[in-house]
């Protein structure tokens, strides 16, 4: 009740910003809300919403092979929807479409999640810094963006529990006046999440902060604030979305690129309308047409390439920005505690997170060119290392040689072509319909892929007069999530004789389908483990018998 009351106050204030136009009013507002939040703030439970009704799953057990999927793409007379792009947003669009009983196709010219969707910070979050801007500038759009992302965060944690989990993130404080300021902001983050708050944030003393994060710089440390966001395996999550779409009947194929768009004249107006795409199987070189009533452009940084296939004269809307991350040894951070640097030397935010027994640090935000394989530049790597040094103890020598890996992802920031001020970058996402009927979904963030897909399909259904009901993806379990439990790996150890670490890896990667992978594991020839021959001794990745036999036969 109290949280709902607090959020309703925020909604009213953001809708009437003129009444609260100075900093003093902001402080009064925050105090008035937080004074009513009791010290024994009770952690709210995650809201869980079941998918509406039972959905038919044509391929509940075995999925069609790639050859069968390509055959469906070639031989289907006309799809309702063709999605171009197999990232999180494109796969989400395919899943949303097929679960509305629309005949759905998806093509991706590389691997699923080979681009931006696998090069994120691995967080499922609402965006603490966006909420700060929303409050300080009374920006209703940013506030609603955070509110939506927090709802999607809760949903994603529920539908893929094997690939995601809450993660505590520490915000160290080195000045006394920052403690109440940051505390108020983080509590506001909890408040906006409402019933979908993961766990309540809390304040730590200096000694307790150093106990939990011993690598922290001690000098001038006042204390710390810990809040919760979600962490996920972004590449596997993307693949789970695509697999779920395939299980529900979508025809999907990777290494299938669009050569050009197909068009035909509208019988009523005579205007050329997009009616599909001419595609090429990159592996075999075979070309074929995929016809569809609606084509959705979900190509991320390559948005403008497909838009120019539709109309060479169309203006670019993508403003590509490079987000670089580095991987450093696990001893740089605790096993289950992240770190947030809220104000770096140039105003960016840097995360410092445990990941796969290593530590991921990032990200940057610098203009870049769109390329299929972006490469992190040395300046960005050194910038991240420099910021890391500012927060770690002088006893910890942060060396360039400790960087084990680095990657660069292209953040597809966009300008809204429908906006009067076309130079301003859209903070959220846009859905655009071209004169020929091409639907483009661009911008946005990983966390809100599902709601972006829902909005895109709503637009497509209306624009192309498709027969479909409302979205059914809220609460729809992703591939492997339904039968997963936190103790599933124990059954893998007991039933198949796998090493504990290997079993945990399989359970966290494949969820309830880990048993299918375990059945294909190589016999080791040892007394223990019985099965699960590792590819590399240091990592829990194992040889699969079926794939080895297939490779030997080629």
Does residue 43 contact residue 168 with C-beta atoms inside 8 Å? no
pLDDT value at 1 more than 90: no
The lowest-confidence range among 12-26, 196-210, 375-389 is: 12-26
pLDDT value at 426 more than 80: no
- Position 30 scores a pLDDT of 46
Average pLDDT over residues 121-125: 94
pLDDT value at 541 more than 80: yes
pLDDT value at 491 more than 90: yes
The lowest-confidence range among 3-17, 140-154, 515-529 is: 3-17
The chain-wide mean pLDDT, for the chain, equals 86
- Position 428 scores a pLDDT of 82
- Position 546 scores a pLDDT of 62
Q: Model-level pTM greater than 0.85?
A: yes
pLDDT value at 114 more than 80: yes
Nearest to residue 458, comparing CAs of 442, 446, 441, 470? 470
Does residue 65 contact residue 277 with C-beta atoms inside 8 Å? no
- Position 427 scores a pLDDT of 60
Helices (H) and strands (E) in the chain, counts: 16, 19
Grade residue 135 by pLDDT with cuts at 50, 70 and 90.
Answer: confident
More confident residue, 395 or 246: 246
More confident residue, 385 or 15: 385
Average pLDDT over residues 460-482: 95
Length, in residues, of the chain = 554
Which tokens sit at 367?
Answer: 């203009």
More confident residue, 92 or 424: 92
Which tokens sit at 487?
Answer: 């103790």
pLDDT value at 10 more than 90: no
- Position 157 scores a pLDDT of 96
Average pLDDT over residues 444-463: 96
Alpha helices in 21-139 (DSSP H): 23-34, 66-75, 88-98, 128-137
- Position 229 scores a pLDDT of 95
| CB contact set of 90 (below 8 Å; sequence gap of 6+) | 83, 84, 106, 108, 296, 298, 299
pLDDT value at 71 more than 70: yes
- Position 57 scores a pLDDT of 87
**b/e sequence 3-38, b meaning 16+ C-beta within 10 Å:** beebbeebeebbeeeeebeeeeebeebbeebeeeee
- Position 127 scores a pLDDT of 84
- Position 547 scores a pLDDT of 53
Taking the C-alpha atoms of residue 413 and residue 317, their distance in angstroms, rounded to an integer, is 8
Average pLDDT over residues 304-313: 95
């Amino acid at each position: 009740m109290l949280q709902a009351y607090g959020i309703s106050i925020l909604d009213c204030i953001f809708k009437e910003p003129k009444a609260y136009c100075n900093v003093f009013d902001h402080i009064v507002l925050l105090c008035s809300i937080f004074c009513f939040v009791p010290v024994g703030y009770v952690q709210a439970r995650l809201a869980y919403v079941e998918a509406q009704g039972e959905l038919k799953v044509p391929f509940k057990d075995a999925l069609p092979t790639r050859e069968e999927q390509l055959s469906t793409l070639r031989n289907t007379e006309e799809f309702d929807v063709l999605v171009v792009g197999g990232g999180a947003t494109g796969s989400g669009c395919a899943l949303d479409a097929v679960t509305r009983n629309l005949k759905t196709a998806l093509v991706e010219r590389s691997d699923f999640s080979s681009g931006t969707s696998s090069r994120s910070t691995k967080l499922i979050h609402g965006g603490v810094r966006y909420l700060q801007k929303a409050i300080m500038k009374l920006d209703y759009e940013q506030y609603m963006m955070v509110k939506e992302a927090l709802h999607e965060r809760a949903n994603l944690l529920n539908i893929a529990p094997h690939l995601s989990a809450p993660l505590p993130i520490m915000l160290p404080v080195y000045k006394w006046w920052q403690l109440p300021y940051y505390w108020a902001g983080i509590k506001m983050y909890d408040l906006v999440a409402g019933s979908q708050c993961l766990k309540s944030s809390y304040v730590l003393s200096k000694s307790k902060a150093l106990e939990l994060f011993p690598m922290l710089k001690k000098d001038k440390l006042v204390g710390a604030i810990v809040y919760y966001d979600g962490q996920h395996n972004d590449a596997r999550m993307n693949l789970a979305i695509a697999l779920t779409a395939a299980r529900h009947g979508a025809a999907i194929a990777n290494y299938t690129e669009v050569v050009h768009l197909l068009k035909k004249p509208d019988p009523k107006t005579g205007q050329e309308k997009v009616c599909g795409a001419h595609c090429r199987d990159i592996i075999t070189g075979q070309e074929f047409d995929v016809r569809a009533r609606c084509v959705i452009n979900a190509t991320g940084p390559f948005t403008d390439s497909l838009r120019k296939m539709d109309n060479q004269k169309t203006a670019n809307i993508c403003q590509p920005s490079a987000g670089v991350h580095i991987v450093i040894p696990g001893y740089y951070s605790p096993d289950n505690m992240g770190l947030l640097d809220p104000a770096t030397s140039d105003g960016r935010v840097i995360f410092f997170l445990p990941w796969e027994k290593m530590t991921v640090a990032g990200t940057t935000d610098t203009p870049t060119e769109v390329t299929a394989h972006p490469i992190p530049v040395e300046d960005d790597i050194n910038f991240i290392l420099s910021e890391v040094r500012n927060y770690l103890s002088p006893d910890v020598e942060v060396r360039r040689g400790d960087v084990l890996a680095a990657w660069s992802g292209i953040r597809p920031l966009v300008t809204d072509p429908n906006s009067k001020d076309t130079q301003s970058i859209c903070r959220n996402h846009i859905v655009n319909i071209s004169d020929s009927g091409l639907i483009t979904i661009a911008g946005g963030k990983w966390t809100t892929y599902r709601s972006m897909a829902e909005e895109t399909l709503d637009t497509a259904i209306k624009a192309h007069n498709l027969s479909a009901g409302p979205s059914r993806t809220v609460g729809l379990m992703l591939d492997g999530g339904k039968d997963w439990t936190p103790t599933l790996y124990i059954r893998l150890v007991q039933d198949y004789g796998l090493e504990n670490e290997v079993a945990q890896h399989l359970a966290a990667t494949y969820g309830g389908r880990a048993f299918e992978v375990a059945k294909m594991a190589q016999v080791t020839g040892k007394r223990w483990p019985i099965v699960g021959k590792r590819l590399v001794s240091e990592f829990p990745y194992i040889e699969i018998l079926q794939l080895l036999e297939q490779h030997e036969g080629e």
